[in-house]
Amino acid sequence: MSLPGTETTDSSIQDSPRTGARDGVQRRTNVRWKLFILLLILVTVNYLDRGSISVALPIIQKDFHLPPELVGLLLSAFFWTYALMQIPVGWLIDKFGPRKIITASCFGWGAATAASGLAGGFLSMFIARLGIGVTEAGVMPSGGKLNAIWMHSKERGRGATILDAGAPLGAGVGGLVIAGLIAATGSWRWSFIIAGAATVLMGLAVYWYVRDTPRQHPGVNEAEAAYIEASHAAEDAAAERAGSRGRRGLLPYLKFRSFWAMCLGWLGFNGVFYGLLTWGPLYLSEAKHFNLSTIGWSTFVIFGAGFVGEILGGTLADKWISRGASANKVMRTLLGTSSVIVVAGLVGVTLVADPLTAVVLLSVVLFFLRWVGLFWGVPATLGGRTNAGILGGAMNFSGNISGFVTPIVVGLIVGATGSFTWALLYFVGAAIIMGVSVLVLNYNKRLPV
């Protein structure tokens, strides 16, 4: 197994005009890693756009005169359509390929983000957020599908976490970028318009570089393609022995415990992550009395810790598996440990009054929470490459139920109690659901459907 950015050789593959080989030994290209770095950047922009409203919320709330209940409704709007589109878009990815779907998503969500900067009040902003939810829906399931197609089985832990690490990175960088744009332009509206234009440019980059299979990419040589395909062949042989029968719909998977554990684990994970993403900046503003600049830097530190944790989690998982450990041992140990620390950290946040200590604890929570980004390798494990799109869509649909429920529930809690304490305890409950799910899921075999 090689690390990203390294090159290995395969003496069994002979020189050819496409390979750039020397002395009959071909050096394997690393296009798959470059592709996933591009996806990391894309998901970073995705979460920057998605979380921009949270950073600007203290200003928007004053401009639109919104009570906490309407703030929660506005924060949830994105997730309504985003969740509802997950299963349909997963089917489209399996049918038409991830490249077309992910490119269309970029163009659509860039336009919708720019439109949100033109909102005149609660209703028009709510509609714009619904539009962003529809158009962003294809990004993460497409990434899960590309992980199944492009990555060797021993590299999918890193592939999954590189892809998903854009979420905390975008949330962290987004705090600084949006706060900086607001300061530079004097308007939260222009910050949204500029972010939307950047997203359209990302769509052009994705269409130029991404391909649905390694063989279609002009930069992939025979050694890299053969390396990936050898892993696929071994998985396909194992699937045949297990009775897996190619492309299937979603219904056959509903009878399996691991399917439901995948969905509930992602639901619990997003109950914590989306809660902190949507309400975190306002929590820092109202409960800890941070100004806009301090909110931006604190958000960067908290979610930046999540980015580092996610990359580390993927690397640990792949290295441990490559040394012969079973997937169940690796995933249950890493994700079970992370769940315990997340629960303890969230309980700690409810008990401390010092703002700096709260930021430190939230950084620890995000560092270990994001290890669960390894779940983006689970759809390929349970359904293989052929069904990774529909299973990834089902998983993300479940997770984004938390997306639209959590902001509303937190808004109601804060409105009723005038405090964030019970909201934080709601996050603790979501983390417990996540912890139970990661321990009962079977990561060792494909489901026999």
Structural domains for the chain: 30-440 (1.20.1250.20)
Share of the chain above pLDDT 70, in %: 91
Instruction: Tokens for 61, please give them.
Output: 């709330």
Model pLDDT for residues 335-349, shown as the tens digit of each residue: 999 999 999 999 998
| Cα 406 to the center of its chain, rounded Å | 17
Residues of the chain with pLDDT under 70: 1-25, 51, 175, 238-249, 292, 449
159, HSE (Cβ side, Cα atoms, 13 Å): 27
Q: How many CB atoms lie within 10 A of CB 67?
A: 11
Model pLDDT for residues 175-205, shown as the tens digit of each residue: 678 778 888 888 888 888 988 898 899 899 9
Integer CA distances (angstroms), 48 to 67, 191, 249, 433, in order? 24, 11, 33, 27
| Full DSSP string of 313-352 | HHHHHHHHHHTT--HHHHHHHHHHHHHHHHHHHHHHHHH-
Rounded to whole angstroms, the Cα distance separating 400 from 120 reads 27
Give the list of residues 6+ apart from residue 73 with CB closer than 8 angstroms, or none: 126, 407, 408, 411
How confident is the model at residue 345, as a pLDDT?
Answer: 94
Rounded to whole angstroms, the Cα distance separating 125 from 137 reads 19
How confident is the model at residue 141, as a pLDDT?
Answer: 86
How confident is the model at residue 10, as a pLDDT?
Answer: 42
Q: How many CB atoms lie within 10 A of CB 432?
A: 17
Q: Do residues 144 and 380 make contact, with C-beta atoms less than 8 angstroms apart?
A: yes
Rounded to whole angstroms, the Cα distance separating 407 from 321 reads 37
How confident is the model at residue 221, as a pLDDT?
Answer: 93
* Helix or strand (DSSP H, E) at 394: helix 378-417
Q: Which of 410, 389, 370 is nearest to 138 (CA)?
A: 389
Residue with the two structure tokens 């296009």 = 31
How confident is the model at residue 245, as a pLDDT?
Answer: 57
Q: How many CB atoms lie within 10 A of CB 127?
A: 14
Residue with the two structure tokens 């604190």 = 298
Instruction: Tokens for 392, please give them.
Output: 């990834």
Residue with the two structure tokens 């203290």 = 58
Give the list of residues 6+ apart from residue 92 with CB closer than 8 angstroms, or none: 101, 138, 389
How confident is the model at residue 241, as a pLDDT?
Answer: 62
Give the list of residues 6+ apart from residue 308 with CB closer than 8 angstroms, or none: 367
